[in-house]
Structure 1
Amino acid sequence: MTIDRAVMMFAGFMVLVSLGLGFYVSPWWFLLTGFVGLNLIQASVSGFCPAAMVFRKLGCPAGVAFK
């Protein structure tokens, strides 16, 4: 699995978790969904993604977007 796919999977997982927590626990968890979305937008513009750096250190091979 490349870094690109790992970042997309992690972001999707975080969105689903925060939606579930927002629905069942507290609406404040929807802020996490917004944060994930903003982070995806800034990563697409700047190319800087903290999650990509973590996955790189974990040994994921480079993809197209994050090298």
Structure 2
Amino acid sequence: MNTNLMVRMFAGIFILVSLALGVPESPIFVSKYFLWVTVFVGANLLQSSFTRFCPLEMMLKKAGVREA
């Protein structure tokens, strides 16, 4: 698995988990403030599409994951 796929996987997991924890209708609701995680991940994906700067991708490269 390469860095590009792992960044997408991490983003998807974080968004789904934060929605499950932040939406009141969810059976595992904790607090509405978990929705800020969704906002943060979305904003980071948006800025990385313009700037090509992604902190997670940099960490994965240092961890030895091969590039896309």
State if a TM-score over 0.5 links the two structures: yes
Unaligned runs of 5+ in 1: none
Indicate the residue corresponding to 1:22 in structure 2: 22
- 2: CA distance, partners of 1:32 / 1:57: 24
- Post-superposition offset of 1:39: 0.1
- Runs (4 or more) in structure 1 with deviation over 2 Å come to none
- 2: CA distance, partners of 1:10 / 1:57: 16
Unaligned runs of 5+ in 2: 24-28
Indicate the residue corresponding to 2:53 in structure 1: 48
Which one has the largest radius of gyration?
2
- Post-superposition offset of 1:34: 0.5
Indicate the residue corresponding to 2:62 in structure 1: 57
- 1: CA distance, partners of 2:64 / 2:36: 30
Task: Select which of 9, 29, 32 maps to 2:37.
Answer: 32
The structure that is helix-richer by fraction is: 1
Q: Which amino acid aligns with 1:54?
A: M
Q: How many residues align?
A: 63
- Post-superposition offset of 1:57: 1.1
TM-score (norm 2): 0.89
